[in-house]
């Protein structure tokens, strides 16, 4: 079945360093979403990308959707302790219409 792979599983950074998580799908996606889950919290929607090659920014966060609509990335510039949490990508299958979550990348930021 369709899979959405996300790497790395964990990332520890020093405050101020950059961070990137990558998401890859085995099949073409109609869109990709990103969610953030703080420790002990529930996932919160961050953004949705729909177009091939799309790039969107939210302050220090930059989201990209690959040209082939099979991969995506989230880049955080100059991390802060408030960025701590698990970041999930979730892709909607172009074939089934189902939303499939990646395994998540857990970010730890050392002050």
Partner 1 sequence: SAVISQKPSRDICQRGTSLTIQCQVDSQVTMMFWYRQQPGQSLTLIATANQGSEATYESGFVIDKFPISRPNLTFSTLTVSNMSPEDSSIYLCSVSLWTDNEKLFFGSGTQLSVL
11 binds partner 1 (CB under 8 A): no
Residue pair 35/48 in contact (Cβ under 8 Å)? The answer is: no
Q: Which two tokens stand for residue 53?
A: 């090659």
With CB under 8 A as the contact rule, which of the stretches 17-25, 36-44, 58-66, 69-77 interacts with partner 1? 36-44
Answer for which of 45, 55, 67, 95 binds partner 1 (CB under 8 A) is 45
Burial 62-93 (b: 16+ CB within 10 A, else e): ebbbbeebbbbbbebeebeeebebbbbbbbbb
Least distance CB 25 / partner 1 (angstroms): 14
Q: Does 64 bind partner 1 (CB under 8 A)?
A: no
Consecutive H or E run containing 86 = strand 85-93
- 24, 48, 77, 108: which one contacts partner 1 (CB under 8 A)? 48
List residues near partner 1 by CB under 8 A: 31, 33, 35, 41-45, 48, 88, 90, 92, 98-99, 101-104, 106
């Amino acid at each position: 079945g369709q899979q959405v792979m996300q790497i790395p599983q964990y990332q520890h950074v020093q405050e101020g360093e950059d961070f990137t998580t990558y998401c890859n799908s085995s099949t073409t996606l109609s869109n990709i979403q990103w969610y953030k889950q703080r420790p002990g919290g529930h996932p919160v929607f961050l953004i949705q990308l729909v177009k091939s090659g799309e790039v969107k920014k939210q302050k220090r966060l930059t989201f990209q959707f690959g040209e082939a609509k099979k991969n995506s990335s989230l880049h955080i510039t100059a991390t802060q302790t408030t960025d701590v949490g698990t970041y999930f990508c979730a892709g909607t299958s172009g074939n089934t219409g189902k939303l499939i979550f990646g395994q998540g990348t857990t970010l730890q930021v050392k002050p």
